Amino acid sequence: MSTTQTNKIETIKATATKINEVDFDNLSFGAVFTDHLLECDFINGEWQQPVIKPYAPLLLDPSAKVFHYGQAIFEGMKAYKDTNNDIWLFRPDENYKRFNSSAVRMAMPEVPEFVFIEGLKQLLKLDEAWVKNGNESTMYIRPFMIATGAGVVANPSEDYKFMILLSPAKAYYSGEVKVLIAEHFSRAANGGIGAAKAAGNYAGQFYPTSLANKEGFQQVIWTDDATHTKLEEAGTMNVFFRINDTLLTAPVSERILDGITRKSLIDMAEKEGINVEVRPVLVSELVEASQKGTLKEIFGAGTAAVVNPIAGYSYKEVYYELPKIENSFASLLKDKLTSLQNKLTEDTFGWTVKV
């Protein structure tokens, strides 16, 4: 019995806009949200009608399972406005698929495509004035789902809430990033939830990252939990290494998130004629390359920062600085990708989707 209409979106418009209070030239990442959000509840085994409504706080039962057992997942994506004022998404189907694989891993219901994709498009259209033109401005999109069912018995919730928030963002420069290679702490383990975009994966990183911060490192490069000999992710990003003119990155696994930026950069690099090797990369290899002078670059890759160059890394109390090079792969690939995303160059890959 399905009486609810998950194929129609109800819209309740805000009575006033907050847009005039926002300084679009000085946005800190993820701090400002648009006038509306999308909400869709899962109750009694069914998705209810999605609603676009004014952004406002939530009222939840204090025993809701998200607070006690951490059933919470999210996605991170972006929208771009081109010079014709058309809005574009970048590979949204990939975020949608990944969201539902995260849902399955966390024993949560899969979200219907209409709710996620069509809901997002309608939300973006309603708040389109918040999406600014130009390479420097994007709309960061945060779809997420939480367990709203009440009761502290430790089993999966019956009820869930899916939401999409929009947060206008400037291009993200994190400055000089020094990283610490993890020798004890782990982000993920075989059989665990590292490949899911689960909220708890982030909570688990905060403490080891804060210890690294105290030593003057902005991020941690995570290694495999069993041996701490393989390089896996940089903070909340996938990680690439350039040794001579070869670009190296680890294969995705149960411990590594299948990043959309990562796979897009691999395809773009190959198209540029760069030799890319997707294989386990050893810490010992990195140290040896540093000593021989063949390690040219390390960079993180993810939706928020796109490409984040790393200035140096520390391993077993030794700091290895990376050379300052011209024509870095990091800046080449970042330019290529952001130009494609902002529709400044032709999208020969077919990755951009019009809203």
Ligand X SMILES: *Cc1c(COP(=O)(O)O)cnc(C)c1O
Judged by the rule CB under 6 A, the positions of this chain that interact with ligand X are 76, 197, 233, 236-238, 257, 259-262, 302-303
CB of 326 to ligand X, least distance (A): 26
CB of 302 to ligand X, least distance (A): 4
CB of 177 to ligand X, least distance (A): 15
CB of 53 to ligand X, least distance (A): 27
The whole-angstrom separation of Cα 51 and Cα 123 is: 10
Our CB check for ligand X shows the closer of 50 and 235 to be 235
The whole-angstrom separation of Cα 320 and Cα 311 is: 9
Give the 3-state secondary structure of residue 176: coil
Indicate left, alpha or beta for 66 from its phi (over 0: left) and psi (-120 to 50: alpha).
alpha
The β-bridge partners of 256 are 253
Our CB check for ligand X shows the closer of 36 and 230 to be 230
Our CB check for ligand X shows the closer of 47 and 162 to be 162
Our CB check for ligand X shows the closer of 55 and 74 to be 74
The whole-angstrom separation of Cα 242 and Cα 306 is: 17
Residue where the block lists tokens 């395809």: 267
The whole-angstrom separation of Cα 289 and Cα 188 is: 26
Other CB atoms closer than 10 Å to residue 173's CB: what's the count? 7
The whole-angstrom separation of Cα 173 and Cα 306 is: 10
* Residues 6+ away with beta carbon under 8 Å from 124: 79, 87, 131, 139, 166, 355
Our CB check for ligand X shows the closer of 223 and 303 to be 303
Find the helix or strand (DSSP H, E) in which 313 lies.
strand 306-315
What is the chain's length? 355
CB of 54 to ligand X, least distance (A): 28
Residue where the block lists tokens 């982000």: 187
Our CB check for ligand X shows the closer of 48 and 238 to be 238
Find the helix or strand (DSSP H, E) in which 47 lies.
strand 46-47
Our CB check for ligand X shows the closer of 100 and 290 to be 100
Which of 54, 55, 58 lies closest to 13, judged by CA? 54
Our CB check for ligand X shows the closer of 259 and 309 to be 259
CB of 234 to ligand X, least distance (A): 8
CB of 98 to ligand X, least distance (A): 7
Local structure of residue 117 (DSSP, 8 states)? I
CB of 335 to ligand X, least distance (A): 17
